[in-house]
A = this chain, B = another copy of it.
């Protein structure tokens, strides 16, 4: 076993969950970080490399098969003899909330392009690598990030919900096809306003609207954080995100006799 040659690929590394998952997996594996916009991974790549890990960033449009093929070639050049241990698809896509009759086709499609087609191309690129990975300590793993909208189509949210429902269907289908081949396919539902940046960007939630819903584990009111956006990406949020990332890592380390397909995760004070 040459587990030290194993590596991981994370697609979708903005300021939230994806970056934390990358940090977590980088504690064990070299990681390749994929994002359309290099600005999303540059500082993270430096951070990981500076702290003794190994990370490379690859600009890739995961919603295009061609984009992913090129990214995989790059990855293989970097890790020519490595085994892909884990691939995480964390591309949320924009959360669009608007009256249905005001929504254009491009907006409606956006949810599916990010969560359906993106996940399709990612899976088609990753699964052959995961199936070939035979020198791993933990079963090869493919994890998708879901949301509350994976289970519920809310009013005025059809773009995001159709994408997240489609992603869950794909994940189930892949788990049933590739589980018996010992590839661990899992779907992790991140519920509630865990990812502070998303909450601000996509839901249009203002600090003053939030009420008592966002209470930090340390008792610091999340409301205050939302008032001060510069505070959001700081150490505290990184800490909380890191705790979510532990669930991704736990999924990856499950042995073949004990695969979890789906779990939900939310802050203790979240209503659901």
Contact = CB atoms under 8 A, between A and B. Distances in A.
B194 A174 contact: no
A59 interface: no
A227 interface: no
A142 B143 CA distance: 27
B268 A256 contact: yes
A157 B173 CA distance: 6
Given A165-B169, A172-B153, A257 B180 contact: no
A252 B197 CA distance: 27
A261 interface: yes
Contact of A243 (B99, B217, B255, B263): B255
A258 B254 contact: no
Interface stretch (A25-33, A47-55, A109-117): A109-117
Interface stretch (A8-16, A36-44, A121-129): A121-129
In the complex, the count of this chain's copies comes to 4
Given A127-B100, A127-B101, A265 B259 contact: yes
Interface string A249-271: 01001111111111111111111
Given A184-B268, A240-B257, A243-B254, A100 B174 contact: yes
A152 B172 contact: yes
A4 interface: no
A267 B263 contact: no
A171 interface: yes
Contacts of A161: 169-170, 172-173
Interface of A: 65, 99-101, 103, 105, 108-109, 112, 116-117, 120-121, 123-124, 127-128, 139, 149, 152-158, 161-174, 176-180, 182, 184, 194, 216-217, 240, 243-244, 246-247, 250, 253-272
